[in-house]
C-alpha cells in the first residue's frame, strides 16, 4: 500500500480559490484538495502519500458521527473553535486552536469528530496512506501555543524518516505517522518567507495554514 514514488523533488501550492467546495448542508462546509465523497477529479486523487486534505467548517452542536476507518493515517489540526474526538480505543478529548489529534486506523477503528460548542469550528483533516496495511491502531494529540505557531516552521507530526533540514524548523512532535512524512504548520505575518529546500524525490504540498512533506 506504499504511495507512488516520485522521480524528482516537487512542491505544490494549492490556493484556496482552486479548492472544490462541498455540497451545502446546514452544518458543514468543506473545501477539498482531493477527490472525496461525491466529488471526483481524476487529476486530484492523491499527491504521493497524501490522499485527503479537507478544510472543514462545522457549525455548533454538530459534526461527524461515529464511523469506521482502516489503513489510513488521519489527523486534524484545529484552526478555530473546539473539536471533540472520541474513538473505539477509548480516547475522548476536546482540542482548541493550535491542537492536533492523530489516529492511525490500522486494522480498524471507529471514531467521531464533533463540535459540541455553540461556536463554529474550523479544522483541517488530512489522510495519509500508510507504508503498509495492518498496523496496530494508535492515537495521540498535542496542543501548541500561539508563540510556538507564530512566524515559525513548526513540525507537529513526523514519520518513519528524518525531519527535513529546513532553516528554523522547530520539532515537538509526540506521535509518529506510519509513513515517511512530515507535517509542518505556521501562522505567519504577511511578508514572512521561509526556505523549504526538498531532498531529491521528496514532495511538499503547501496550502493555507501549513505544509506537508
Assess whether pLDDT exceeds 70 at residue 142. yes
Instruction: Please give the average per-residue pLDDT across 99-105, as a whole number.
Output: 96
Assess whether pLDDT exceeds 90 at residue 71. yes
- The rounded distance, in Å, linking the Cα atoms of 183 and 164 is 10
All three cell numbers of 194, joined, read 521561509
pLDDT band at residue 4 under the 50/70/90 scheme? very low
Instruction: Please give the average per-residue pLDDT across 27-43, as a whole number.
Output: 96
Residue 117 labeled ligand binder: no
Mean pLDDT of all residues belonging to the chain: 90
The more confidently predicted of residues 74 and 161 is 74
DSSP H helical segments within 68-212, as ranges? 146-149
Assess whether pLDDT exceeds 60 at residue 69. yes
Residue 111 labeled ligand binder: yes
Residue 142 near residue 100, CB atoms below 8 Å: yes
pLDDT band at residue 8 under the 50/70/90 scheme? low
Cα–Cα distance list, 99 to 11, 91, 148, 158, 173 (Å): 25, 15, 12, 15, 12
pLDDT band at residue 165 under the 50/70/90 scheme? confident
Q: Which sign, positive or negative, has the C-alpha torsion 55, 48, 69, 105?
A: negative
Q: Which residues have C-beta within 8 Å of that of residue 188, sequence separation ≥ 6?
A: 150, 151, 194
Residue 69 labeled ligand binder: yes
Assess whether pLDDT exceeds 50 at residue 66. yes
Q: According to the model, what pLDDT value does residue 208 have? A: 65
pLDDT band at residue 197 under the 50/70/90 scheme? confident
> What is the set of domains in the chain, with CATH numbers?
16-144 (2.60.120.10)
Residue 187 labeled ligand binder: no
Assess whether pLDDT exceeds 60 at residue 78. yes
The alpha carbon of residue 25 and the mean position of all alpha carbons in its chain are separated, in whole angstroms, by 23
Assess whether pLDDT exceeds 80 at residue 5. no
| Residue with grid cell 509518529, as numbered in its chain | 176
Amino acid at each position: 500500500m506504499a504511495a507512488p514514488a516520485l522521480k524528482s523533488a516537487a512542491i505544490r501550492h494549492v490556493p484556496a480559490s482552486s479548492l472544490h467546495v462541498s455540497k451545502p448542508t446546514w452544518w458543514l462546509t468543506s473545501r477539498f484538495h482531493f477527490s472525496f465523497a461525491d466529488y471526483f477529479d481524476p487529476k486530484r486523487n492523491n499527491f504521493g502519500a497524501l490522499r485527503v486534505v479537507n478544510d472543514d467548517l462545522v457549525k455548533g452542536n454538530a459534526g461527524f458521527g461515529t464511523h469506521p476507518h482502516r489503513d489510513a493515517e488521519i489527523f486534524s489540526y484545529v484552526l478555530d473553535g473546539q473539536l471533540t474526538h472520541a474513538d473505539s480505543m477509548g480516547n475522548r478529548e476536546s482540542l482548541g486552536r493550535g491542537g492536533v489529534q492523530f489516529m492511525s486506523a490500522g486494522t480498524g477503528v471507529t471514531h467521531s469528530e464533533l463540535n459540541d460548542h455553540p461556536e463554529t469550528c474550523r479544522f483541517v483533516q488530512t489522510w495519509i496512506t500508510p507504508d503498509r496495511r495492518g498496523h496496530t491502531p494508535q492515537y495521540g494529540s498535542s496542543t501548541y501555543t500561539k508563540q510556538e505557531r507564530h512566524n515559525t516552521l513548526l513540525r507537529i507530526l513526523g514519520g518513519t524518516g528524518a525531519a527535513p533540514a529546513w532553516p528554523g524548523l522547530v520539532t515537538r512532535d509526540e506521535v509518529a505517522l506510519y509513513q515517511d512524512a512530515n507535517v509542518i504548520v505556521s501562522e505567519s505575518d504577511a511578508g514572512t518567507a521561509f526556505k523549504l529546500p526538498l531532498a531529491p524525490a521528496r514532495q511538499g504540498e503547501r496550502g493555507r495554514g501549513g505544509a506537508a512533506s
